[in-house]
Structure 1
Amino acid sequence: MYGNYDGLNKAPAFDLHLGVNYWTTVNISDSDTPVTVEVIAVIAGDSAQVCLVDTGSGTPFISSLDVRPLKNSLYPMANATQGLVLLSRSNLGPTDSTAIIRYPDDKHDRIWVPESKPREWVGFTTTKKVQNIHDDKFEAPSAVMQTAVMPISPTGPIELSWDAQPSAKDPAPGYICVLHISELQDLSRRSTRQFDVTINGLISLGGKGFTPEYLRSNALFNANANAYYGFHHYNVSLNATANSNFRPILNAVEVFSVVPTAGVPTATQDVSAIMTIRGKYQVKKNWMGDPCMPKNFAWNGLSCSYAGTTSPVITGLNLSSSGMSGNVSSSFAGLKKLQYLDLSRNNLTGSIPETLSQLSLLALLDLTGNRLSGSIPSGLLKRSQDGSLTLRYGNNPDLCTNGDSCQPLKNMKSSKVAVYVVVSIAAVSVIVLLLVLLICMLRRKQGTTTRNSVRPQNESGIRHSRGGNGHSSVRLNNRRFTYADLEAMTDGFRQVIGRGGFGKVYDGFLEDGTQVAVKLRSESSDQGVHEFLAEAQTLAKIHHKNLVSLIGYCKDMEYMALVYEYMSEGALHEHLRGRESRTKRLTWRQRLRIALESAQGLEYLHKGCNPPLIHRDVKTSNILLNANMEAKIADFGLLKAFNSSGDTHVSTARVVGTRGYLAPEYIVTFQLTNKSDVFSFGVVLLEIVTGQPHILNDPDPMSIIQWVQQRLACGNIESVVDTCMRGDYDVNGVWKAADIALKCTAQTPEQRPTMADVVAQLQECLDLEAARGNVNGGFYTAESGGNPSEYSGYGTDVSTDMSQSTTAFEMEHLGRALTMSTGPSTR
């Protein structure tokens, strides 16, 4: 019972799960009415977990939890694949509306609620005990069976009815109805009470002409809920047959909806290992319930494999920046299918356990930024050297990385140290001398080449030597164009298709008819040679399906230009708020796909490049769409690279980017991290959900983050969703997308997810949207979602200096409350 315990006077709604299976949605109608929900289910193991799930409509709460054991023979409709959720359990006939029957009258402590309708039924009772029949499947208590009702009309039926209660998780539920019947009158031998039982006039229970036994409890029920699948309204009717001398009789009724319980929990060995890890490190994440199931509630930082019908296994574990201390637990080796383990940026001490070498599928182990000591196990070193394992261990000052030569240095006399220093200086002198000779030879050879040959203009690579502008040389492996080439391909720079800080972007065509976009630097541009070289160098080396491809460049005297693949649908912001939004409205599925593909491009920059890259100017105008509405990140003029893969941040001399998209810590400290891009992407995702600009005038300037937070504080997602979508979306998916965006825009970078996390969660949103149009027996299961192994955003054409890794992800679901009608009523 809610009881307005929090003073908000706003009754919450939330979901319940029994283990890995959805149970029901609890919808509190008012503060003073208690709500009881019941499920009859088969528990395969020796324990069960009841999970209360926040769906964004108030904090879940519970007043009490009761567990009752039942014999296997009772309620045979509940089995390993389906459970029964109680809608109504009524004891018919008592005149006292408060006379609830439960234990000790019912040894199973079921709650039988009295119900009578004097205008429709005649109630009657007996004081004699009603016995259960042999092999009784329900064991209704005698106290319940001692009362019954008959219709007032001598020829009328007894009727019961209820409305279907569909939900997003079960849009067309099936029902099982159990009628408990016992004859309470000792009829003469020549008198007969006989009646038919139908549901919606179609299906007969108990065969033709049922006759109840005197003082013996019988039950009529449908064993298969599929027979009642898809009706909006249900009507049970008991009608006397032509051979009957008495009206039909009914003592009690139970109505259940059927829920699938076939969800398979995580593999036992993995559960044992991860529970030990949780306990050892006191992990402060939302680690409750089953680690992998249901799929959209998998533990934060875990990725799992859901192959076939076997138990899910943990394949990725991201515990970066989780405040862990102590040694590295050997329990990690219990996760036999682990492919990705990130323990970076914690306070772990001691040595790296040799048992981690036993993880044969481990593709990436990140131990960066701890206080580990000792040597790296030989098994891990060997796998790192043969390329089967990406091993990261930077910023561990006491960790020895030289294999067998990891013995601590002995105290030495000063004379010996002096000898070593002299030898080192001599060795350096020899190296310097060799380098000078090598440079001289290269220069002589280069001079000879220059005198005897001329490089063609469209060379495969070009080297810009250090000139008056002071910029170092750059070698590009793309096609080089002259300014005259640009004039020809753009028809004299006739059609402008875009503008940016670098300059205008023109429509163009190559000789073979391929359409391209030509980005020509303006003389007034703040972005000069340095930004041009940065963008050109970067795009010459990196390749990904969600990054705009560089076709060529121009460096012809003062003219500089970049030639890109053509993106016919322009920038994302035009589809959200510009002229395109008025003619081509983006559907929710298109928006999710654009968000996912953009996130994959950023994930590649952060994880797939070595060293990692930071875009620094993620915004809707820098996300371009091609003819297939596929999204690609563009504009790399502000891109910044880490000095090495082990660095935690990059310092800059000034803040660059776009107001409203900049992470707060970057503005204050001038220090960039990957989480700076995550913040900017969060703003983009909010624009995708709302259709609003990143800064609103409401009436004073306000960031879209504040605007969304203020409205979602009331729990109403519809108040922020773009009205252009006209309600055509899965609300659970929209809630989840908004939640991801707000996590991305958290004030501190440690609270933000990685782009790998974001990619995985956006895929979950797409699964929810796909499920909306894919009704499988009326029930959506986690298995209908994508496989986590498909979440990687890396393309197949990654250059050789880019390292790829399996990514771990967290999935935290934020859904909506589902409306629920009242329980079945009898009439």
Structure 2
Amino acid sequence: MGRSSLEELSAPPWLTLLLGLAAAAGMLQVRGQRAPSVEGFISIDCGLDEKTSYVDVIQIPYTSDAGFTDAGSNHNTSAKYWTTRMSQTHRNVRSFPDTVRSCYTLPSLVPGSKYLVRATFRYGDYDGLDSLPVFDLYLGVNFWQTVNVTEVDMAEIAEVIAVIPDDSVQVCLVNVGSGTPFISALVLRPLENSLYPPANATQGLVLIDRYSFGDTGKVPISYPDDPYDRNWLPFSYPEEWSDISTAEKVKDNIGNLSLHAPSVVMQTAITSRKDSDSKTIQLAWDIEPNHVYPVPGCIAILYAAELEILASDDVREYDLIINDKRTKVPYRPKYLIAAALYNNEPHHGFSQYSFTVIATANSTLPPMINAFEFFSVISTANVGTDSQDVSAINKIKVKYQVKKNWMGDPCAPKNFSWNGLTCSYPTSGRPRITSINMSNGGLSGDISSFFADIKDLQYLDLSYNKLTGSIPNALSELPSLVGLDLMGNQLNGSIPAGLLKRTQDGSLAVRYGNNPNLCSDNGSCQTKKNNYMLAVYIGVPIFVVLVIGALVVLLMFRVRKKKGLARGSHGHGRQQMENRQFTYKQLKVITDNFKVVLGQGGFGTVYDGFLHDGTHVAVKLLSQSSNQGIEEFMTEAQTLTKIHHKNLVSLIGYCKEEKYLALVYEHMSEGNLEDKLRGKNCTDVSLTWRQRLHIALESAQGLEYLHKACSPPFVHRDVKTSNILLNANLEAKVADFGLMKAFNHDNDTHISTVRVIGTRGYLAPEYATALQLNEKSDVYSFGIVLLEVITGHPAIQQSEEVVHIVQWARLRLTGGNIEEVVDTRMQADYNINGVWKAVDLALKCAEHAPGQRPTMTNVVAQLQHCLELEREDHTNDNNANSGFYMKDDNGDRGLLM
């Protein structure tokens, strides 16, 4: 035909012929020439000692990963798997055993530019466990691929080409419960933005294979022959095809650089054997699905250039057939001019792809191809948190040396959002941080000015830390801020005028009690300052008297201590509680003389009430016959003055007056979860699966706060459905803290008790038998709660025999039918995958051995994933009628409107 213009080959929408590929001056290199620039390259040897660097055999400088991540630990691979030709990056790894998501940050990028990112994983039995892990890999907030390490001494390589929207990108390893994630090397290479057109702002290309055909070499072609440091694997199969090569340089036509293979790659090719009658080249690739892309889309790129001078009557012309679909216009390669065939839109719907290059009837010569790239397609449409929010929260993280799970993007994906943060997710635009809870976080120093840079912030809780200095007035300029909690710190100075003004006009609620040196109005602060010198003049003489008096008191104290007087043992926290104390007379007014009973518990009776300002409360009055007494009362009262979380019931006040003991809580109008699940109120409508998931997730978040955010951590000890309360919006809050125990120190592994206290059916085996508590004891109890949420059945079922809910569920799941255990009142309105995941999670929580149970942090993450599945299912249901697909006889899918 002799025609090879772009217009002539644009007819098939799934296939485009690219001619006119060009290289910028000095871009293409051949063997023996000066190496191209490595400017913009990031090359990280993961697990290398800090401040160590080297230049590898192809003259690319590598550095330690210490400046790119603050998680994980370094390990050397086993020396018995070392070889003389092994890459230096394979001698060590960094592993991440302690976090669900662990990330590297690659900085100094050009926003909106295209990059190649490659990660290498060589296990080498670095941990001595000889256990090959499986984990997920993310590029920023978008799933990249699942890493499945199949051999101890072989490297798994993950490579993606994508447009990076920001000036940095994070590569994150995610623990999926199948072994500890690790990494050997991580590199980033800038690409020309015109390269790889299918890679765009919403779509990335994950490499499956890249071959240089006809290459008989033993090592891949890479840098410096490829200026982008791609690895072209040599491919020669003389039993099937003939190899062709030339010493002449293969050039690109003058034009835009859209697809490009180095000249040294294009200088070899394969063609049909001369002794064969076949004029075809057949290739096939299998596609491995994953849990995110069960049917991945694919992009194929075939590179072609004529390497032989043809006789005047010879013609080399061929068609390309992909899975029986043929190009409509044949192609004739040009002598020493590179071109490429590729599908601009991804193919979908196949687990295997076959590529047949077949000579046309006009062709006198067999087909020839020089190189091949094959990619699966991923979505890169998910965007990370607003860049200003990210910058601010990261500076806050550094200032207070926050660990927790504060890695990767703060808000996205939703199931990996940082502990203590709440985010908004607009339909268009980036997620924004709307709430920060760093209460009881052990923070010290002043209040960071960077909080004021998070412009959508609505709630900020910094209570019960060790913060000092003054309150920054910049917080008053946050337009959306409606709640600020600074209680229990060591702040000084006066409340800024801007904050006082907003509290007075009702637009902002500020809590600042228990800061002894903080003044609420400027006048009193100034008076204190003026009176300081007077106090000194008067105080010095008095001080001498006090010293003498103190010595006398000390002697008396020692005498009393010997007599065993320990009435001060409950004094801790009393200063915090003094401003919350009610009299019994006030309680009678609040409850209208204890008129309305809300419920009964081990502590006593709970009454309905209203404060003078209209606040609805619940008053728990100790019964004289209660088994719980002053110790449990003080435990609950003192604990709730120190811990604050949106999923823990708030203590408003207490009464301790002679024989009367009472606790005053926020009122939870929808009662407890146990009654809600059992339908105790005949007017109640059964909870939907989504409502149940929300309740389970919020309860788990409350327990996670006790386990992880408190220092030292707490064990609740009585987690059950009747201790999970619901407000008018069905938001869940964990209640009843009278049995709660604190660890003596942060690094304690368990708490020993002298007796078993709790509720039958919810007690963890190790607590019931060995009297040893830890966080996993609460996890067991929560597993029982989650099973109740799923099944609607109680923890102990009384029928002909006593049956525990775990035994009941496991027995019915042996047949693989989830409907056997799910509460029928939900009328099968749920995502079945999400329910299976929740059931599996509940049973893992209820494992007999504590070490086999997940942490509450992991429970929260998995419940968030269940909820995400339910949301996606709901979205799909809403879109179900937007269009219907059908297959025609040729296997094509068409959209019928």
TM-score (norm 1): 0.61
Query: What is the CA–CA distance in structure 2 between the aligned matches of 1:114 and 1:59, rounded to whole Å?
Result: 33
Query: What is the CA–CA distance in structure 1 between the aligned matches of 2:248 and 2:364, rounded to whole Å?
Result: 23
Query: What is the CA–CA distance in structure 2 between the aligned matches of 1:43 and 1:378, rounded to whole Å?
Result: 43
Greater RCO (Cα-Cα under 8 Å, separation 6 or more): 1
Match of 1:108 among 224, 228, 232: 228
**Shift in Å at residue 736 of structure 1?**
10
Aligned pair 1:544/2:669, yes or no?
yes
Q: Deviations over 1:394-432 (max 9, x none)?
A: 3222222345322324436989xxxxxxxxxxxxxxxxx
Partner of 1:566: 682
Q: Deviations over 1:711-760 (max 9, x none)?
A: xxxxxx99x99996799524995599669969xx999xxx977xxx9989
Partner of 2:126: 5
Aligned pair 1:72/2:193, yes or no?
yes
**Shift in Å at residue 631 of structure 1?**
11
**Shift in Å at residue 600 of structure 1?**
9.9
Partner of 1:177: 300
Change (3 A) 1:133 1:330: same
**Shift in Å at residue 245 of structure 1?**
1.0
Change (3 A) 1:151 1:676: closer
**Shift in Å at residue 235 of structure 1?**
1.3
Partner of 1:647: none
Partner of 1:682: 782
Query: What is the CA–CA distance in structure 1 between the aligned matches of 2:164 and 2:716, rounded to whole Å?
Result: 50
**Shift in Å at residue 569 of structure 1?**
9.8
**Shift in Å at residue 4 of structure 1?**
0.7
1:32-51 pair list within 5 angstroms: 32-51=153-172
Partner of 1:151: 272
Q: Is the 8 A contact 1:689 1:734 kept in 2?
A: no
Match of 2:246 among 126, 129, 132: 126
Change (3 A) 1:730 1:133: farther
Q: Deviations over 1:495-515 (max 9, x none)?
A: xxxx99899xxxxxxxxxxxx
Partner of 2:884: none
Partner of 1:140: 261
Partner of 2:459: 340
Q: Is the 8 A contact 1:546 1:633 kept in 2?
A: no
User: Given residue 78 of structure 1, which amino acid in structure 2 is its aligned partner?
Assistant: A
Q: Is the 8 A contact 1:689 1:721 kept in 2?
A: no
Partner of 2:291: 168
Match of 2:696 among 592, 595, 614: 595
1:356 is paired with a residue of what secondary structure? helix
Partner of 1:816: none
Query: What is the CA–CA distance in structure 2 between the aligned matches of 1:550 and 1:73, rounded to whole Å?
Result: 62
Change (3 A) 1:539 1:54: same
Q: Deviations over 1:110-132 (max 9, x none)?
A: 11111233343222222222222
Query: What is the CA–CA distance in structure 2 between the aligned matches of 1:398 and 1:762, rounded to whole Å?
Result: 43
Q: Is the 8 A contact 2:780 2:845 kept in 1?
A: no
Change (3 A) 1:746 1:403: farther
Q: Is the 8 A contact 1:546 1:597 kept in 2?
A: no
Change (3 A) 1:61 1:479: closer
Relative to its length, the structure with more strand (as a share) is: 2
**Shift in Å at residue 59 of structure 1?**
2.0
Query: What is the CA–CA distance in structure 1 between the aligned matches of 2:696 and 2:832, rounded to whole Å?
Result: 18
Change (3 A) 1:591 1:274: closer
Query: What is the CA–CA distance in structure 2 between the aligned matches of 1:362 and 1:89, rounded to whole Å?
Result: 53
2:158 is paired with a residue of what secondary structure? coil
Q: Deviations over 1:549-586 (max 9, x none)?
A: 999xxxxxxxxxxx96238899x9xxxxxxxxxxxxxx
Query: What is the CA–CA distance in structure 2 between the aligned matches of 1:139 and 1:301, rounded to whole Å?
Result: 47
1:374 is paired with a residue of what secondary structure? strand
Change (3 A) 1:78 1:735: farther
1:67 is paired with a residue of what secondary structure? strand
Change (3 A) 1:306 1:592: closer
Q: Is the 8 A contact 2:716 2:778 kept in 1?
A: no
Query: What is the CA–CA distance in structure 2 between the aligned matches of 1:233 and 1:567, rounded to whole Å?
Result: 56
Query: What is the CA–CA distance in structure 2 between the aligned matches of 1:477 and 1:238, rounded to whole Å?
Result: 88
2:173 is paired with a residue of what secondary structure? strand
Query: What is the CA–CA distance in structure 1 between the aligned matches of 2:626 and 2:444, rounded to whole Å?
Result: 50
Partner of 2:512: 393
Aligned pair 1:193/2:311, yes or no?
no
Q: Deviations over 1:644-683 (max 9, x none)?
A: xxxxxxxxxx99642575799x99xxxxxxx999778635
Partner of 1:86: 207
Aligned pair 1:619/2:720, yes or no?
yes
Change (3 A) 1:188 1:639: closer
Query: What is the CA–CA distance in structure 2 between the aligned matches of 1:760 and 1:381, rounded to whole Å?
Result: 39
Partner of 2:353: 234
User: Given residue 26 of structure 1, which amino acid in structure 2 is its aligned partner?
Assistant: V
Q: Is the 8 A contact 2:790 2:839 kept in 1?
A: no
**Shift in Å at residue 81 of structure 1?**
1.7
Query: What is the CA–CA distance in structure 1 between the aligned matches of 2:776 and 2:522, rounded to whole Å?
Result: 37
Query: What is the CA–CA distance in structure 1 between the aligned matches of 2:399 and 2:136, rounded to whole Å?
Result: 30
Match of 2:410 among 287, 291, 294: 291
Partner of 2:436: 317
User: Given residue 595 of structure 1, which amino acid in structure 2 is its aligned partner?
Assistant: A
Partner of 1:440: none
User: Given residue 868 of structure 2, which amino acid in structure 1 is its aligned partner?
Assistant: D
1:475 is paired with a residue of what secondary structure? coil
Query: What is the CA–CA distance in structure 2 between the aligned matches of 1:732 and 1:67, rounded to whole Å?
Result: 39
Change (3 A) 1:146 1:8: same
Match of 1:475 among 592, 596, 600: 592
**Shift in Å at residue 137 of structure 1?**
2.3
Query: What is the CA–CA distance in structure 2 between the aligned matches of 1:777 and 1:231, rounded to whole Å?
Result: 27
User: Given residue 331 of structure 2, which amino acid in structure 1 is its aligned partner?
Assistant: F
Query: What is the CA–CA distance in structure 1 between the aligned matches of 2:434 and 2:330, rounded to whole Å?
Result: 59
User: Given residue 729 of structure 1, which amino acid in structure 2 is its aligned partner?
Assistant: N
Change (3 A) 1:154 1:619: same
**Shift in Å at residue 548 of structure 1?**
7.2
Partner of 1:374: 493
Aligned pair 1:767/2:868, yes or no?
yes
Q: Is the 8 A contact 1:321 1:344 kept in 2?
A: yes
Partner of 1:272: 391
**Shift in Å at residue 162 of structure 1?**
1.6
Change (3 A) 1:541 1:366: closer
Change (3 A) 1:267 1:480: closer
**Shift in Å at residue 264 of structure 1?**
2.3
Change (3 A) 1:189 1:262: same
Q: Is the 8 A contact 1:159 1:237 kept in 2?
A: yes
User: Given residue 23 of structure 1, which amino acid in structure 2 is its aligned partner?
Assistant: W
2:395 is paired with a residue of what secondary structure? helix
Q: RMSD over aligned Cα, in angstroms? A: 5.8
User: Given residue 282 of structure 2, which amino acid in structure 1 is its aligned partner?
Assistant: E
Partner of 1:25: 146
Q: Is the 8 A contact 2:783 2:842 kept in 1?
A: no
Q: Is the 8 A contact 1:38 1:85 kept in 2?
A: yes
Query: What is the CA–CA distance in structure 2 between the aligned matches of 1:60 and 1:617, rounded to whole Å?
Result: 34
Q: Deviations over 1:671-709 (max 9, x none)?
A: xxxx9997786354564699899899xxxxxx999xxxx
User: Which runs of 5 or more residues in structure 1 are unaligned?
Assistant: 416-464, 482-498, 504-522, 552-562, 573-586, 604-613, 643-653, 668-674, 697-702, 706-716, 779-827
Aligned pair 1:729/2:833, yes or no?
yes
**Shift in Å at residue 327 of structure 1?**
0.8
1:53 is paired with a residue of what secondary structure? strand
Identity of aligned residues (%): 48
Change (3 A) 1:143 1:79: same
Query: What is the CA–CA distance in structure 1 between the aligned matches of 2:442 and 2:173, rounded to whole Å?
Result: 27
**Shift in Å at residue 253 of structure 1?**
0.6
Q: Deviations over 1:16-51 (max 9, x none)?
A: 222232222211111111111111112233322222
Query: What is the CA–CA distance in structure 1 between the aligned matches of 2:228 and 2:877, rounded to whole Å?
Result: 35
Aligned pair 1:658/2:759, yes or no?
yes
Partner of 1:307: 426
Query: What is the CA–CA distance in structure 2 between the aligned matches of 1:147 and 1:25, rounded to whole Å?
Result: 33
